[in-house]
A = this chain, B = another copy of it.
Amino acid sequence: MKQPGFDFEIEKEHGAARIARYITPHGVMETPAFVAVGTQATVKSVTPEEVRDSGTQVLFANTYHLYLRPGADIVAKMGGLHKFMNWNGPIMTDSGGFQVFSLGASLEHGVGKIANIFPGEEGGVLTSARRVGEGKSLVKVSEHEVHFKSHIDGSAHIFTPEKSIAIQRALGADIILAFDECTSPLHDGDYTCQSAERTHRWAERSLDYFQKRGPQHGYAQALYGIVQGGAFEDIRKESARVIAGMDFDGIAIGGNLGKTKTDMHRVIEWTVAELPRDKPRHLLGIGDVPDIFEAVERGVDTFDCVSPTRNARNGGLLKRLDDDGTPLAKFRINMRNARFADDPRPLDEDCDCYTCKNYSRAYLRHLFKAEEHLARQLATIHNLRFIARLGEDIRQSLRDGSFKELKRDWLKPVGLYKDA
């Protein structure tokens, strides 16, 4: 069932990769596209205009956080997320499941989504959870519902698939997600399988509630199903088939993507192979440069991640090459480094962002050393622009057939390119 105001038009394919125009009630995204994270209805440290001017097309807000604070009812009363946060472009929200389970699972296992990190998670939650929960899991799952405790004040809450959809209807993002359970890399096959099957039943309940209730708050919205199954090939493929078989408007790839990059690549391949061509695909919580190339190559259309903005706030500014032409292994430099203390050059002479056009490295370093907020703001503006430009270059390469060359140019110098 196509939602009014939405259309997904594939312009060109290049192997599994594709370039498309994704029309939403709040404008068109050109995909593949990076989705900037604005957990609490703000992309940390920047204004919506600064986000837009960076070339960022779409934002991702977190249902769990907004449900707890300020509350979905308040966002609805303010006219929905777009008006509330002064962002007139497309917005996605997650189902709340990832945060609910990352609190619980992380306490259980001490690990996150992949390799001990939570790429899709804003900072502070784990710490807070540990503080509030004092080491005990804050989450209890049953077939019908999930009980969890707020990381803010320890208060008890319940999510169901229906409640997640009702909250997301009230928040009013353009693209919303079915409620799912997110397993950890340390869950075994049995648990991962049971969990995926429950997630499929929750997907049905989410879809049913979404379709039968309709847009109570008047927003046209699209609903994505979420594929789970951990890094187990049979479970992942089965999950992809089940979710692909439901009447969702798009598909998100969620959950733990394994322990290595190779695991992650395989999980994407297993999943995408089962998905319909004509629905948009979102990869949850991925956004480092090499991952973006690998995901796009395997047919992912959109991907969200806190890393460009979180790194910015920590002084990690995105850059491809160092001044002597050396490739930067993680595509970033540490702005606090003493070598920048008296360096009058912009961070990146080839960058057209506000930061690089107006400020020296010496000034950026000074702001970071002096712990001035403007450091985080200028760094975030740059990193968002860096990722948006990468997206522009990737789309152009898909248009003119040079994607493989672009990927090789970026990844080979840092030893991350494998000939297919």
Contacts and interface: CB of A to CB of B under 8 A. Distances in A.
B44 A362 contact: no
A374 B341 contact: no
A366 interface: yes
Interface in A39-55: 40-42, 44-47
B373 A70 contact: no
Contacts of A344: 77-79
A8 interface: no
Contact of A69 (B41, B86, B370): B370
B362 A47 contact: no
Oligomer copy total: 2
B40 A372 contact: yes
Contact of A366 (B44, B69, B342): B69
Q: How large is the interface on A (under 10, 10 to 19, 20 to 34, 35 or more residues)?
A: 35 or more
Contact of A47 (B79, B369, B377): B377
Interface string A356-367: 001110110111
A362 to B, nearest CB: 5
A84 interface: yes
Contacts of A376: 373
Contacts of A74: 341-342, 362, 366
A321 interface: no
Contact of A45 (B42, B341, B342, B373): B373
A414 interface: no
Given A69-B366, A74-B341, A344-B79, A44 B86 contact: no
B40 A370 contact: yes
Contact of A363 (B47, B78, B359, B367): B78
Question: 9 smallest A-B Cβ distances: which pairs?
Answer: A70-B366, A40-B370, A42-B374, A86-B358, A45-B373, A42-B372, A74-B342, A78-B362, A77-B342
22 contacts: A41-B366, A42-B372, A44-B372, A44-B374, A45-B373, A45-B374, A65-B370, A69-B369, A74-B342, A74-B366, A77-B344, A77-B362, A78-B360, A78-B362, A78-B363, A84-B362, A84-B363, A85-B363, A86-B359, A86-B363, A373-B373, A377-B377
